[in-house]
């Protein structure tokens, strides 16, 4: 039997919350996320467990079964494709697409979604930068470039490094460029390709040797 909207929303939020830790999702965290009572969450979890969509053990939280995960990823795929469609073809603003996509994501027709995906040219990211899984449920690898190739003015975040020497790592730490740290590329000097970034509201200068060894989100 197909799931209801509410059930699909639970699966989606369990999936998203489960990405934030490797433990099961607590019913309290879910209740907070869904803005509902913990007792309603427990009732719904039992229902989902009976449908073999989640595993639930008291005190250990909720995890998705393979079947539950498949549904959750499919909802995320539909949500993000609809956001692209709304923004690019119906004139909705960035700030408006999410709410409408919350409804559209529950339309069941797989043919509709496949045609939407094709019509949009198989986009890999939604308007907020969220990766769009393909019809098999595989997420695209996050797009990344070397910091010395990033467009000036772009907001980005550190995704990795190509230089692993201890002194380089120490330098990264000293300037505050940890993995996942967000910054903005303010300027690139043509004469030596050194860059200036804004990090936590402060300007930081990086040599070309440093910039070319850092992978950042594109
Ligand atoms: Zn959204």
CATH code, domain carrying 190: 2.30.30.90
Domain stop point among 24, 43, 64: 64
- Whole-number Å distance between alpha carbons of 13 and 71: 12
| pLDDT for position 142 | 67
- Residue 37 per-residue DSSP state: -
CA of 125 to the centre of ligand 1 (A): 11
Q: What is the mean pLDDT of residues 72-81?
A: 97
Orientation angle between helical segments 38-50 and 5-18, nearest 10 degrees: 100
CA of 178 to the centre of ligand 1 (A): 27
Query: What is the CB neighbour count within 10 angstroms for residue 168?
Result: 16
| pLDDT for position 210 | 94
Report the run of H or E that residue 34 belongs to, with start and end. helix 27-34
**Could you read off the pLDDT of 17-73 as tens digits, one per residue?**
998 777 899 999 999 999 999 999 999 999 999 999 999 988 889 999 999 999 999
φ/ψ of 83, rounded to 5, equals -60, -45
CA of 14 to the centre of ligand 1 (A): 16
Domain stop point among 39, 64, 89: 64
The answer to whether residue 130 sits within a structural domain is no
The answer to whether residue 154 sits within a structural domain is yes
CATH code, domain carrying 15: 1.10.10.10
Confidence of residue 180 (pLDDT cuts 50, 70, 90): confident
* Pair of tokens at residue 169: 């790592």
In total, how many domains does the chain have? 2
Report the run of H or E that residue 140 belongs to, with start and end. none
Residue percentage of the chain with pLDDT more than 90? 67
- Between 129 and 146, name the one with better pLDDT: 146
CA of 158 to the centre of ligand 1 (A): 23
**Could you read off the pLDDT of 84-134 as tens digits, one per residue?**
999 999 998 877 899 999 999 999 999 999 999 999 999 988 876 678 999
Looking at the DSSP assignment, which residues form a beta bridge with residue 155? 184
CB hemisphere CA count around 159 (13 angstroms):
15
CA of 115 to the centre of ligand 1 (A): 20
What lies within 8 Å, CB to CB, of 168 at 6+ separation is 161, 210, 213
Q: What is the dihedral of CA 72, 74, 80, 84, to 10 degrees?
A: -170
Residue percentage of the chain with pLDDT more than 70? 98
CA of 130 to the centre of ligand 1 (A): 8
Q: Under a CB-based contact definition with an 8 Å cutoff, are residues 133 and 77 in contact?
A: yes
CA of 25 to the centre of ligand 1 (A): 21
| pLDDT for position 128 | 67
Closest C-alpha among 163, 179, 172, 94 to residue 130: 94
Q: What does pLDDT average to over the chain?
A: 91
- Cα 59 from chain centre: 27
The answer to whether residue 60 sits within a structural domain is yes
Closest C-alpha among 53, 68, 218 to residue 129: 218
| pLDDT for position 167 | 86
| pLDDT for position 143 | 75
Domain stop point among 42, 64, 86: 64
Domain of residue 58 covers 5-64
Q: What is the mean pLDDT of residues 190-203?
A: 94
């Amino acid at each position: 039997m197909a799931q209801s909207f509410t059930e699909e929303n639970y699966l989606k939020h369990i999936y998203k919350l489960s990405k934030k830790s490797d433990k099961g999702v607590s019913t309290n965290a879910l209740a907070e996320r869904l803005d509902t009572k913990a007792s309603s969450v427990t009732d719904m979890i039992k229902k989902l467990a009976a449908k073999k969509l989640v595993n639930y053990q008291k005190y250990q939280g909720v995890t998705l079964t393979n079947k539950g995960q498949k549904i959750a990823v499919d909802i995320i795929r539909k949500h993000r494709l609809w956001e692209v469609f709304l923004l690019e073809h119906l004139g909705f603003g960035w700030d408006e697409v999410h709410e409408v996509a919350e409804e559209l994501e529950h339309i069941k027709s797989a043919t509709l979604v496949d045609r939407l995906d094709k019509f949009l040219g198989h986009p890999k990211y939604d308007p907020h930068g969220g990766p769009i899984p393909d019809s098999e449920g595989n997420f695209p690898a996050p797009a990344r470039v070397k910091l010395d190739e990033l467009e000036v003015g772009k907001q980005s975040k550190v995704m990795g490094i190509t230089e692993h020497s201890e002194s380089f790592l120490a330098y990264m730490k000293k300037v505050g460029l940890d993995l996942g740290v967000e910054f903005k590329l303010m300027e690139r000097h043509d004469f030596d390709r050194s860059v200036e970034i804004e990090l936590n509201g402060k300007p930081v200068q990086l040599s070309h040797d440093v910039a070319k060894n850092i992978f950042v989100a594109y």
